[in-house]
Structure 1
Amino acid sequence: MKKLIAGVVLGVGLTAMAHGAGDPQAGEQNAAVCAGCHGQGGAKPVMGVYPKLSGLGEKYLYRQLVAIKSKERNIPEMTGILDNMSDQDLQDLAAYFDSQEMVVSQADPDLVDQGSALYRGGNLATGVPACAGCHNPQGNGNAPAGYPALGGQNAEYLTKQLKAYREGTRNAGSNAAIMMDVASKLTDAEIEAVSSYISGLN
């Protein structure tokens, strides 16, 4: 009897997990509207201030889509785009974009040394932790924790987001407090250097 109960519990648990997971093929059907700004597969945005969505991590992407739809994270350019999408649609979109390959950008050679030092070692003097601690030495992120892959992301977008965290205008989501604290200790020059370095990281 115990084995039967355990089997039922396990089966229900696996069904729930499968139901909650996104379907990349279904997500691709809804992704056409995203291509106008983020490019095909979310890999080549039309402007540097728009993020690449490809390969960021399904959990992270889903959380951001939920926050944007609920207006917890306010992005004027996204107004109304997600309104008619269900929670499953958002899961599917997240799975689709996560399955796409990140196109790595080119870091500014003049900023690589400073950016690398910050990304890999932080700044002990000002209490800035190493970005690699959460986002992986190669910039691949930490999918189970919902920390996004950063390697290859547009430097202009990264700069904008770090400044938004520093100013407290990006404060939505479970990990925002961590990033707001980190960014509050970064100078403009450090933000520029680490953003450039990350854009070429792979």
Structure 2
Amino acid sequence: MSFRLAGCRPAVLNAVALVVALSASVAFAQNTKAPAATKAPAAAASTTKPASAATAPAAATPTAAAAHDDNWMMSTKPGDATSGQGKAAACGACHGMDGNSTDPQYPKLAGQHEMYIAHQLHNFKSGERQNAIMLGMSTPLSDQDMRDIAAYFAGKQPLPGVADQALVERGQKLYREGDPDRGIPACMACHSIDGRGNPGAMYPQLTSQHAQYIEAKLKDFQSGTTWGHEAHAQIMPTVAKNLDPQDIAALASYIEGLHVADHGTAAASP
């Protein structure tokens, strides 16, 4: 999911100021702790296993970071859509004021799960998901801001897309059945038959998403791009590597045509 928030020059300036302030504080902290650091080699030399002592901090760091990333939303309240509407105003130029982007290079956010949107914003801010624009846009946001923005878009209805009828058969087969002989699982196993996804497992909604965006992301996954360190973030690169260009085009088109019909009936094609 790629975010690009427009009309946000003040936010960018705030982000730059924040980065400068953080850099200054880090430099100050390093200078004040310099004497203690000079004593470390002597302490290590006095131990019988200096190699273990030297590598222990490095091994502990990823674990601490992972715990932080997994639990950061525990300190926030559920998103407030009313508050989120104002905070999401800058998002409208790219993603649409109601989350239905008109430019297919930007994803529709309407109806996307609150936790998923907030988690991706957090990934942009932390650098787990690489995007220079979104790094700048997400940096000034607090964890609660992310939840509020996500709640606003989650409450919107995605506008249905249209699939290319020439690609529906192939796309539907891959989406519903996969291709076990080539190691391709059915997409609906994670994203559901109508593309609604699974918010608890952090599998995003795909319903009516732009084919151009889906195709671009599948190609990114195919090249090894990941959106985090969690287990669920490692799934798509493994799946996408087995897709050929025709598979990607068919799946992307089929997904754009996915929508939920009246009375909760899934419509597999437009």
Per the normalisation by structure 2, the TM-score is 0.66
CA, structure 1 residues 17+67, in 2 after alignment: closer, same or farther (shift >3 Å)?
A: closer
* SS of corresponding position for 1:20: coil
CA, structure 1 residues 36+173, in 2 after alignment: closer, same or farther (shift >3 Å)?
A: farther
Paired position in structure 1 for 2:248: 191
Deviations 1:94-123 (A, max 9, x none): 111111111111111100000000000001
Distance 1:132 1:178 in 2: 14
* 2:88 alignment partner AA: A
Distance 2:75 2:111 in 1: 20
- Residue 19 of structure 1 and its aligned partner are, at CA, apart by 4.8
* 1:113 alignment partner AA: E
CA, structure 1 residues 104+172, in 2 after alignment: closer, same or farther (shift >3 Å)?
A: same
- Residue 173 of structure 1 and its aligned partner are, at CA, apart by 4.8
Distance 1:150 1:40 in 2: 19
* SS of corresponding position for 2:88: helix
Higher-RCO chain (CA-CA 8 Å, sequence separation at least 6)? 1
Paired position in structure 2 for 1:94: 150
Deviations 1:106-149 (A, max 9, x none): 11110000000000000121010000000010111111111111
Distance 1:108 1:158 in 2: 14
Distance 2:110 2:229 in 1: 20
Distance 1:17 1:173 in 2: 18
Paired position in structure 2 for 1:24: 81
Match of 2:167 among 111, 128, 152: 111
What count of residue pairs does the alignment treat as equivalent? 186
Given that 2:163 and 2:256 are in contact with CA atoms closer than 8 Å, whether structure 1 keeps it comes out as yes
Deviations 1:23-68 (A, max 9, x none): 11111111110011111121124x2111111111111111101001
Paired position in structure 2 for 1:178: 235
The question of 1:138 aligning with 2:194 is answered yes
* 2:188 alignment partner AA: A
Match of 1:153 among 183, 204, 209: 209
Paired position in structure 2 for 1:8: none
The question of 1:65 aligning with 2:152 is answered no
In structure 2, stretches of 5+ residues that fail to align are 1-72, 260-270
Paired position in structure 1 for 2:177: 121
CA, structure 1 residues 18+99, in 2 after alignment: closer, same or farther (shift >3 Å)?
A: farther
Per the normalisation by structure 1, the TM-score is 0.87
* SS of corresponding position for 1:49: coil
Given that 1:62 and 1:90 are in contact with CA atoms closer than 8 Å, whether structure 2 keeps it comes out as yes
Q: CA RMSD in A?
A: 1.7
* 2:105 alignment partner AA: V
Distance 1:171 1:66 in 2: 11
Q: Which has the larger radius of gyration?
A: 2
Paired position in structure 2 for 1:33: 90
* 1:194 alignment partner AA: L
In structure 1, stretches of 5+ residues that fail to align are 1-15
Paired position in structure 2 for 1:55: 111
Given that 2:113 and 2:199 are in contact with CA atoms closer than 8 Å, whether structure 1 keeps it comes out as yes
Identity of paired residues, percent? 41
- Residue 77 of structure 1 and its aligned partner are, at CA, apart by 3.3
The structure with the largest helix share of the pair is: 2
* 2:235 alignment partner AA: I
Distance 1:71 1:18 in 2: 20
